[in-house]
Amino acid sequence: MSEPKVTIADVAREAGVSKGLVSFALNDRPGVSAESRVRILEIAERLGWTPSLRARSLSTRRSFALGLVIARDPEVLGSDPFFPSFIAGVETVLAPQGLALVLSVVPDEKTEMRTYRSLVSDGRVDGVFLSDLRHNDPRIPLLQELGLPAVTLGRPDTESPFPCISVDDTPGVAETVRYLVSLGHRRIAHVAGSPALLHGSRRRAAFDTALREAGLPAGQSIETDFSVAAGADAARRLLTQDSPPTAIVFANDPMAIAGLGVAHELGLRVPDDVSITGFDDIDFTRYVYPALTTVRTAPSDWGRAAGRTLLDLMALGTAPDVDLPAGRLVIRGSAGTPLRP
């Protein structure tokens, strides 16, 4: 049976002062002598007093929570380790500050917009992380209208008052294509993400540009929703054609791993018959067979940078953009010289 929580009343009784004076001392408010403040703090520490988040919220009109709203199918989200890794990075910043992360997974953009309004009207969060940026993203003016501090994950393509945390996708995709060309690949396909999302369209544009710079004709591209099922379906369509590609560049790692499974199922050898690459370098890419060649972006670093930046924005009213190192190619066993010319 757990011991009862130490309250302000317990500290006041031990110190022989009023509860109001203890509250002022613990919340660092004026009206308490330096000697009394030190004595009250020492007694609170000795008794094991910890602040009540509910009481702090009532006294300061803050929620002591930050929000992350994700408009994706929960099953799709559950198969993509990017967000758990990102959230882990955020939590390393929030937890020591006694702050919580409020996560909302919603089915569509319309519900997402309502969710932001609800979070503000209910006073549930003090700021938010804005992910999966879209073209002319309507959430940016909405959050500005609501007066809610935000950090965008990626650089918007429209005017934004909020700081951004960005990683340039282009070098990693371009390096992947150049590496495949150097191995002798000439028929290279791309399993892209959603064109409605900025990072999906940017990776597609980087792939097309890299092929042109290599002097190769446009490669076949299939757009998806970034899900494992869509990646598997795209891989099957590509690999069962009369003239299948000798290499496939996937827009994320879960789809690439699904593509590996499809290739094995079809009796193809990776990388002899087809080379496969991914993007993000999630933890288990090195443990599949063959280990996945991919682009490393460190989602947990995104989370840490986003958490620090949002806290700075809320405390100071301003915070600079943060440009993280561009993704770099990690060469493993899933890409090699094609046996077919």
Q: Are residues 112 and 161 part of one domain?
A: yes
Q: Are residues 132 and 15 part of one domain?
A: no
pLDDT in tens, 191-246: 999 899 999 999 999 999 999 999 999 999 999 988 999 999 999 999 999 999 99
Categorize the per-residue pLDDT at 33 as very low, low, confident or very high, splitting at 50, 70 and 90: confident
Categorize the per-residue pLDDT at 6 as very low, low, confident or very high, splitting at 50, 70 and 90: confident
Q: Are residues 190 and 138 part of one domain?
A: no
Instruction: Transcribe 62-111 into DSSP letters.
Output: ---EEEEEEES-HHHHHT-THHHHHHHHHHHHHGGGT-EEEEEEESSHHH
Q: Are residues 71 and 21 part of one domain?
A: no
The total of other beta-carbon atoms located within 10 Å of residue 257's CB is: 23
Task: Note whether 232 and 238 are within 8 A (CB).
Answer: no
Residue 339 domain-assigned (yes or no): no
User: Per the structure block, which two tokens stand in for 137?
Assistant: 């993203």
The CATH number of the domain holding residue 115 is 3.40.50.2300
Q: Tell whether the torsion through CA atoms of 92, 93, 96 and 100 is positive or negative.
A: negative
pLDDT in tens, 110-163: 999 999 999 998 888 999 999 999 999 999 999 999 999 999 999 999 999 999
User: Residue 151 CA to chain centroid, in angstroms?
Assistant: 11
The CATH number of the domain holding residue 25 is 1.10.260.40
3-class DSSP assignment, residue 322: strand
Residue 239 amino acid letter: L
3-class DSSP assignment, residue 273: coil
Residue ranges making up the domain that contains 243: 170-297
pTM: 0.80
Categorize the per-residue pLDDT at 9 as very low, low, confident or very high, splitting at 50, 70 and 90: confident
Q: Are residues 199 and 115 part of one domain?
A: no
Q: Would you state the pLDDT for residue 12?
A: 87
Closest CA to 288 of 336, 330, 250, 256: 256
pLDDT in tens, 272-286: 999 999 999 988 899
Is the pLDDT at 57 greater than 70? The verdict is no
The domain tally of the chain equals: 3
By DSSP bridging, strand 188-192 and strand 65-71 are unpaired
User: Per the structure block, which two tokens stand in for 284?
Assistant: 């288990």
Residue 269 amino acid letter: R
Q: Are residues 177 and 146 part of one domain?
A: no
Residue 330 domain-assigned (yes or no): no
Residue whose entry in the numeric block shows the structure tokens 């929620």: 63
Residue 29 domain-assigned (yes or no): yes
Residue 2 domain-assigned (yes or no): no
Closest CA to 252 of 204, 317, 214, 319: 204
Task: Note whether 302 and 84 are within 8 A (CB).
Answer: no
User: DSSP label at 293?
Assistant: B
Q: Are residues 214 and 159 part of one domain?
A: no
My answer on whether omega of the bond before 81 falls inside 30° of 0, hence cis, is no
Q: Are residues 161 and 83 part of one domain?
A: yes
Residue 308 amino acid letter: R
